[in-house]
Amino acid sequence: MAERKSRGTSASGRSSPSLVIRGGTVVDAGGTRVADVVISGGVVVEVGPGVTVPQGATVLDAGGCLVAPGLVDIHTHLRQPGAEDAETIETGARSAALGGFTAVLAMPNTDPPVDSAAVALEVLSLGSGAACQVAVAGAITMGRAGERLAPIGELAGLGVRLFTDDGAGVQDVSVMRRALEYARGFDVTLAQHCEDDALARGGHMHEGEWSSRLGVPGIPAEAEELMVARDIALARLTGGRVHFLHISTAGSAALVAAAKAEGLAVTAEVTPHHLSLTHAELAGYDPVFKVNPPLRSQADVCALRAACASGIVDAVATDHAPHAPERKDATLDAAPSGMLGLQTALPVVLDSLGAGSKDDGADRDGGPGMSVQDVLGLMSWRPARIAGLGRDQGGEHGGPIEPGAPAHICVIDPSATWEVDPVRLASRSRNTPWAGRVMTGQVRHTVFRGEAVVVDGEAQR
């Protein structure tokens, strides 16, 4: 194979001072334990209760907090190159760090798209000084037009592990088939934004009770489910690995469950908003709730939560999609789809998936009562594996937190409350559906490669 560049990006060059995370409860794939964490030289050196603080070390107070491996978001739109008015890699990474993420996978639907080595290298280079690791996904087809294959081999040689035309699905089944066959030799995953254009065209929200009431053209669940079913069949036909981006319907979850039961190499992710919000939010025609795939019914939300609890869903991914305020501020049909998600993901997911939870006024059932460890798994070590960022894959993320591990850690205060103020978010954009709501659960500190990039909720970089 051609040389693969290591996915650990070049050293920042700063010597990291020693850090001690004191007084918290460490939670990782290995279990839960009360312990302090000592970090030095970018690496965890000691984990245990009551450690001695090395001289000159900075102490981060983690009293009452969970100390977890840094979260990993495998579906983020950083908008650079091409739409820097909405977000840049720097601001997006800062939002991520504030949300507890130490790695994000940047989606390739930039302008120009990531369908060449040059653009991939540009994104990686811009991300090298960011507050979290910025990995990049490549496009499946040139220009994401769904016709000609992108140079998957060349990009894989640069360390790209996941390919998608996200923003759109690959409509031509023979192209998707060829892509899966071609990709077989490169040990990469193809991810699909499942949306059948013919069925979805012209829709601006979920097709159902509310779209009928509001008189807005809708996108039926089948527009997603048909492509999920199709790509499951292709996974079976070609032996390729398929990851389903942002599944949003009960039907999609059921299809994924059956495919997994059959032993096919498929994985699926869900967004925080699809675990908590429904199409009822569109009642006021507010475009902040316009997203693709759209917010669906309560039954879909419940099915997706259950799918998280039962292991059908492998990861939560934010689909963080900034849009410049002037673009989102339009009529529902004219506004672009997309919501911010990096800073609000953790409290939303803890609330949606945890036992009984905060009442923030929305009409929803209680969550499926997942353990904190399992929820963190959905947000850290399991997405890390899908993106090839796990420690046993040549990457650095997902823990476990043990001596020798790269120091990517988030410290979470599960009971801290805070109000979402769009203006004060780190993103350049403001399109968060939780504006004005009070969240329970906040990231107190984030450590990236041994450096405290967020301290007491304030970004340091």
Partner 1 sequence: MTEASKGSRRHLLSIAELGADGIEEILEVSDAFVEVGRRSIPKVPSLRGRTVVTLFAEQSTRTRLSFETAAKRLSADVLSFSIDTSSVKKGESLRDTVETVAAMGVDAFVVRHTSAGAPAAVARWVDAAVVNAGDGWHEHPTQALLDCYTIRQVLAERAGRPLEGAGVECFVGLRVAIVGDVRHSRVARSLVLALGALGAEVTLVAPGSLLPPSLEGWPVAKVSYDLDAVLPHVDVCYLLRLQSERGAGAFLPSVREYGAWFGLTSRRAALLGDDALVMHPGPMNRGVEIADDVAALPQSLVLRQVSNGVAVRMAVLFMLLGQGQVGTGGGGPGLLPTLGTVVGG
Residues that bind partner 1 (CB under 8 A): 1-2, 142, 147-154, 174-175, 178-186, 237-238, 240
Q: Based on CB atoms, which residue is closest to partner 1, 243 or 364?
A: 243
**Per-position b or e across 346-381, b if 16+ CB within 10 A of its CB:** bbbbbbbbbeebbeeeeebeebbebebebbbbbbbb
Peptide bond into 217 cis (omega under 30): no
Q: Based on CB atoms, which residue is closest to partner 1, 137 or 175?
A: 175
At closest approach, how far in Å is the CB of 236 from partner 1? 12
At closest approach, how far in Å is the CB of 338 from partner 1? 29
Catalytic-labelled residue, pool 115, 165, 196, 319: 319
Q: Based on CB atoms, which residue is closest to partner 1, 114 or 384?
A: 114
Q: Based on CB atoms, which residue is closest to partner 1, 181 or 333?
A: 181
Residue with tokens 């639907």: 109
At closest approach, how far in Å is the CB of 255 from partner 1? 24
At closest approach, how far in Å is the CB of 194 from partner 1? 22
- Are the beta carbons of 407 and 44 closer than 8 angstroms? yes
Could you give the strand order of the β-sheet that contains 101-106, starting from the edge strand earlier in sequence?
Answer: 71-76, 101-106, 133-136
At closest approach, how far in Å is the CB of 182 from partner 1? 4
At closest approach, how far in Å is the CB of 77 from partner 1? 24
At closest approach, how far in Å is the CB of 178 from partner 1? 5
Q: Based on CB atoms, which residue is closest to partner 1, 155 or 194?
A: 155
Q: Based on CB atoms, which residue is closest to partner 1, 170 or 277?
A: 170
**Catalytic residue status for 73:** no
Q: Based on CB atoms, which residue is closest to partner 1, 173 or 438?
A: 173
At closest approach, how far in Å is the CB of 258 from partner 1? 23
- Are the beta carbons of 276 and 352 closer than 8 angstroms? yes
> Which pair of structure tokens corresponds to residue 164?
């998608």
At closest approach, how far in Å is the CB of 445 from partner 1? 43
Q: Based on CB atoms, which residue is closest to partner 1, 186 or 289?
A: 186
The 3-class SS string of the chain reads CCCCCCCCCCCCCCCCCCEEEECCEEEECCEEEECEEEEECCEEEEEECCCCCCCCCEEEECCCCEEEECEEEEEECCCCCCCCCCCCHHHHHHHHHHCCEEEEEECCCCCCCCCCHHHHHHHHHHHHHCCCEEEECECCEHHHCCCCECCHHHHHHCCCCEEECCCCCCCCHHHHHHHHHHHHHHCCEEEECCCCHHHHCCCCEECCHHHHHHCCCEECHHHHHHHHHHHHHHHHHHCCCEEECCCCCHHHHHHHHHHHHCCCCEEEEECCHHHCCCHHHHHHCCHHHCCCCCCCCHHHHHHHHHHHHHCCCCEECCCECCCCHHHHCCCCCCCCCCECCCCCHHHHHHHHHCCCCCCCCCCCCCCCCCCHHHHHHHHCHHHHHHCCCEHHHCCCECCCCCCCCECCEEEEEEEEEEECCHHHCCCCCCCCCCCCCEEEEEEEEEEECCEEEEECCEECC
Q: Based on CB atoms, which residue is closest to partner 1, 186 or 381?
A: 186
Peptide bond into 293 cis (omega under 30): yes
- The catalytic site residues sit at 319
